[in-house]
Structure 1
C-alpha cells in the first residue's frame, strides 16, 4: 500500500465542506475551501444561523498561503468551471440559504489574485429553509457551446441553470427525491442527462429533454447516496458513494447492478477521479479519513491524520 505524507496544514476554524483545485493554467497551484458553521439560537426565538467563509488559497513551497477570505452563508459545495468562459476563470458556490454564486478569478493591477462576484441566483423559490447542497458544471468534456449548472437542494429538488452573458437563469426544476437531494452530476457525454443521489437511498437518472420523472432508478445503496462522479474519458462510467460506506462503479446503461464495489470504512462525502488519467479515485470518508482507490476499486492508500469528520 502507498504511503501518504502530510506536507503542511491550515486550520480553517469552521468545518471545511469543500476543497477544489483550480483546473486552469497558470493557476494549478491555487485552490478554494468552503466552510460551514451552525450557530444555534439558544433562546429558541429565531432559526439557527448557518455561516461560512470562502478561502482562496495557494500551495507554494510546501506551504498553504491564504490569499483572500470572503464571509458568506454556510457553503455546502463549490466547483471551478473546467474551462474558461469568455476568457473568465469561473467558480460556482452553493450556500445554506439556497444561493448559487458565480465568482471569477482575476489578477488585480498589482498581480494579486482576487475572487470577484459575477452573478448569483436563488433556487429557494421563496421557501425559508432551502439549502443548496451540491453543484456540477456541464463542461466536463471541455465543450462550451451552452454552459449549464446543476444544483441539488434540501427539499429533494434538482435545478438546471444556464450561465449566459454573465447571468444565471433556471431552465429546469424537478422533485427528484423524497428527502434531501445530496448530490447531482451531469453525464459529461450527454449533458441533457443528469444523475442524482438522495437521502431516500436512490440513485436516479433524468433526461431533462423529455421528463421531470426519473428514466432509471437504482436502490442498490442501503443508505443515502451522497456522492456521484461522471467520467470524462470513458462513456457510460459513473461512480457513486453513500452513507452505507460503499463506493460503487457503474455502467450507466445497467443501473440495476454495479460493475464492482468496495467498502471504505466510513460514509462517503466526496469522490474524485484523478485528473487527466482517471486511473485512480480519491474518496473522502466521513469517519475514516481519505482513501485512494484504483480503477477496480481496490484500496491503494489511506490517510487518517484528520482529527474530526
Structure 2
C-alpha cells in the first residue's frame, strides 16, 4: 500500500530526527542540521554539492563532502529544534516554535514526566544534551538544562530515556552515544550529570538504547558492524556480549519492544531488520530486508506486530511481524517466535535520505488510519501521512 502525503513543509535546514510528544497525539518535534563552511551564514541556501544526493553510508550526516582528503574547510554545525502541531486528519500542519542552537543529531521526549513535566532531550553536535521542558499552558518549550557529555569537538550521535515502558522507583536516566566511540549515562534527582562513561566502539557508535524492561541493560551499535550489550550494575569494563557475525554494515538503530518482553529490533546500513531475543543476542530470531539502508526503527505504540522503518535510500516503510499480533508466541524451547515479516505500507514522498520518523501517540484519522510524521535530510522536507 502506497501512502499519500497529507501535509508537508520545508524545514530549511536538513532534517534528521523526529518524535511525537507522549500523551499529545498532535504535537511533535523535529531536529535539523546544517554544515556551514568558513564565511557562510546560517540560513543561506545550500549548494548542490551540499545537498549531496550521493550520500555515503557510514559518514556523519551532512558531512560526506568533508571527507575528501587534504584540505577540509573549517565548519560550523548549526541546527534548530522545530515544534509542530498537526490536526487530527493530518492536513493542517503548523510550526509553533523554533529553538536555534548547534546541529541536532537525535532527540527524544521523556516518556514519563521528568521533574514534573514532559521534557525533550536533544543530542547536539557540540557534545551536549539539551533539556527543554514543555509548558502545559503555552504548549511551548523552555530551556531547562545543558549537560556537557564531551568537549565541543565531539558529536552526541544518539540518546535514549530509561523510562519508556513504565514508571520506576529509580529516577529517569539518559544514555548517549558519542562520536569518539564512547557511551555515557546521565542521571540525578533534580538535575542531570554524567554518571558513567566508557569506550564502547572503535568507530562511531550510531546508537545506544535501553532495554525498556530492564533499564540496567544498554545495547549499543556502531560503524564497526558490531552490536554490544552492557550491564550498568556490573560496570562497563567489558560488554555482556559482542555480536560481530550478524551484520554486513554498520549498526544504526536499536529499539526494545515495549509490549513483548525480551524482544528488540536492530537496523543496519546493510538494509536488514533483525529481531533478537535478549537472552540469545548472537543469533537473530528473524530477518527482513527492508532495502535502502536503515536509520531508525519505531515500534507502534499499541499494535505489537507493527514496525516503522526509516530506510535512508529506500524511503519509509511499515513492516508487520504477524507472529506478534496477539503477543509473541514461543517455540518448544521457550524462545520468542515473531514469525515472518511482510511489508504493510510504504511512503515514498521524500526525495532524499529518509532519516526521522515516528507514530503519532494515539493519533488516528477519521478513517481509522495511524498518523505518521517523517523527515528527510538533503531536501529538508517534512511530511505527515497515514497508514
Task: Name the TM-score class by shorter chain.
Answer: over 0.9
Equivalent residue, structure 2, for 1:217: 242
CA distance in 2 between counterparts of 1:297 and 1:102 reads 37
- Alpha-carbon distance between aligned partners in 2 of 1:231 and 1:240, rounded to the nearest angstrom: 11
Which of residues 99, 105, 129 in structure 2 aligns to 1:70? 99
Q: Pick the aligned partner of 1:307 from 351, 365, 381.
A: 351
Listed as ranges, the matches of 1:1-309 within 5 Å are: 2-24=1-23, 27-41=24-38, 47-60=74-87, 62-107=91-136, 111-124=137-150, 126=151, 128-145=152-169, 146-165=171-190, 167-212=191-236, 213-219=238-244, 220-295=246-321, 296-309=340-353
Structure 1, unaligned stretches of length 5 or more? none
**1:5-37, CA deviations, whole angstroms, 9 ceiling, x for partnerless residues?**
21010110211111100112xx22100000011
C-alpha distance in 1 between matches for 2:317 and 2:7: 19
| CA–CA distance in structure 2, aligned partners of residues 45 and 74 of structure 1 | 19
- Whether the 8 Å CA contact 1:149–1:163 is kept in 2: the answer is no
3-state secondary structure, aligned to 1:147: coil
Query: Is residue 85–residue 144 contact of structure 1 (8 Å, CA) maintained in 2?
Result: no
Cα deviation 1:147-198 (Å, max 9, x = unaligned): 1000001011111100421x11111111110010100110111111100001
Query: Could you list the per-position Cα deviations for residues 19-75 of structure 1 after superposition, in whole angstroms to 9, with x for gaps in the alignment?
Result: 100112xx2210000001111237979731111011011002511100001111000
Secondary structure, counterpart of 1:268 in structure 2 = coil
Gapped runs of 5+ residues in structure 2?
A: 41-70, 322-339, 354-387
Which residue does the alignment assign to 2:62? none
State the shift of 1:104 in Å.
0.7
TM-score, normalising length: structure 1: 0.93
Structure 1 segments of 4+ aligned residues over 3 angstroms from their partners: 42-46
How far residue 276 of structure 1 moved from its aligned partner, in angstroms, is 2.1
- The structure showing larger relative contact order (alpha-carbon pairs under 8 Å, at least 6 residues apart) is 2
1:35 & 1:210 partners in 2: Cα distance?
A: 36
Change (3 A) 1:45 1:234: closer
Provide the alpha-carbon RMSD of the alignment: 1.6
- Number of equivalenced pairs: 300
* 1-structure distance, mates of 2:142, 2:166: 23
Q: Structure 2 length normalisation: TM-score?
A: 0.75
Hey, what's the Cα distance between the residues in 1 that align with 2:212 and 2:144? 25
- In the alignment, is the contact (CA less than 8 A) between 1:137 and 1:149 conserved in 2? yes
Higher strand share: 1
Distance 1:139 1:33 in 2: 21
> Bigger shift: 50-59 or 80-89?
80-89
Q: CA–CA distance in 1 between the matches of 2:74 and 2:240?
A: 38
